[in-house]
Structure 1
Amino acid sequence: MHVTEQTERAMVAGLSERPLDAAALEQSVTSPRCGAALTFTGVVRNHDPEATGTVTSLEYSAHPDAGSILAGIVERHRRGDAAPAGEVRIAAVHRIGLLDVGDLALVVSVASAHRAAAFEVCRAVVEDIKAEVPIWKKQQTAAGTSHWVGLP
């Protein structure tokens, strides 16, 4: 597992080869100072516009710097550069390796004093991870074909 934990900052961020536990990640960000906690889960689906046929599995590969880039995104939003005023606690982990349909590929949990901030920061973190973290996926289909997504 390539997860960086910094509990004193309420930050968990990185990559994992093991199945993700959304409830545990959300629990890691909860605090008596936070009145809102929410979790986004990205789930492997059985279809994709770029795939021919039914998707049966995905294989995620990551650049060696992907974990630190993901941690940097979490830290940037936690610090408050992009976050609203007040405490914001964030955890984000992306799976790598072979995942089946229904497996969790990405989990982002955010806690803050108010719900609007939690929703705003969670969406921003998810969007930044998708845009900035060098992770690629190979889609396997029921017909035995495969298709890479996200390669440079």
Structure 2
Amino acid sequence: MAPTNDHPGERTADDPIKLIAVRETALSLDEVFQAVGDDAAGGTALFVGTVRNHDGGADVDALGYSCHPSAEAEMRRIAEKVVAEYPVRALAAVHRVGDLRVGDLAVVVGVSCPHRAEAFAACRKLIDDLKHEVPIWKHQRFSDGTEEWVGAC
């Protein structure tokens, strides 16, 4: 008998958005990975954004993130768009605000779907749209004493 896509596990879960948060505390890969666990998911994709030690040819010492009060609601809106476009079984997104050091986790997103290609595509859409649409701003401090604000990250 040929497999069909009529199985409920092949479709978006009833309530797939498991975790959306903006936090001043350290982020956890384990928390996001556990949040997107689903028995019907054959693929889970995670993206972890870290503070790197350089940008635009300059050495970065540290940076700070700040956000508009609507940031978490905007993250949820974007998550809902991703869920409408892909067969998401579970989705999570957490962004850090406050002062961070090189190597700190700035953002962690995860998506699980029935198949890996869908999970990769949904995760990429989620992080790309969060980066471009959520009102979170980055204040970079460089080794040479200069600093820079970067628009919506």
TM-score normalised by structure 2 residue count? 0.84
Distance of aligned partners of 1:126 and 1:87 in 2 relative to their CA distance in 1, 3 Å threshold: closer
Question: 1:63 corresponds to which residue?
Answer: 68
Mapping 1:115-130, distance limit 5 Å = 115-130=116-131
Offset at residue 12 of structure 1 (A): 0.6
* Number of residue-to-residue matches in the alignment: 138
SS of residue paired to 2:144 = coil
2:130 aligned partner, one-letter code: I
Tell me the residue number matched to 1:77.
82
Q: Which residue of 1 aligns with 2:107?
A: 106
Counterpart in 1 of 2:20? Answer: 13
| Aligned CA-pair RMSD | 1.5
1:22 maps to what in 2? Answer: 29
Residue of structure 2 in register with 1:132 after alignment: 133
Matched residues in 2 for 1:47 and 1:66: separation?
Answer: 26
Gaps of 5+ in 2: 1-14
Partner of 2:8: none
Cα deviation digits, residues 8-48 of structure 1 (max 9, x gap): 54421121111110122011111111111121000100111
In the alignment, residue 79 of structure 2 is paired with which amino acid?
Answer: V
Q: Per the alignment, in what secondary structure is the counterpart of residue 77 of structure 1?
A: helix
Residue 68 of structure 1 aligns to a residue whose secondary structure is helix
Structure-2 residue corresponding to 1:35: 42
Q: Highest Rg: 1 or 2?
A: 2
Distance 1:149 1:105 in 2: 14
Q: What percentage of residue pairs aligned between the two structures are identical?
A: 41
SS in 1 for 2:121: helix
CA distance in 1, matches of 2:110, 2:137: 22
Name the SS of the counterpart of 1:127 in structure 2.
Answer: helix
Q: TM-score, normalised by structure 1?
A: 0.85
Partners in 2 of 1:92 and 1:39 — Cα distance?
Answer: 10
Answer whether contact 2:139 2:149 (CA < 8 A) is retained: yes
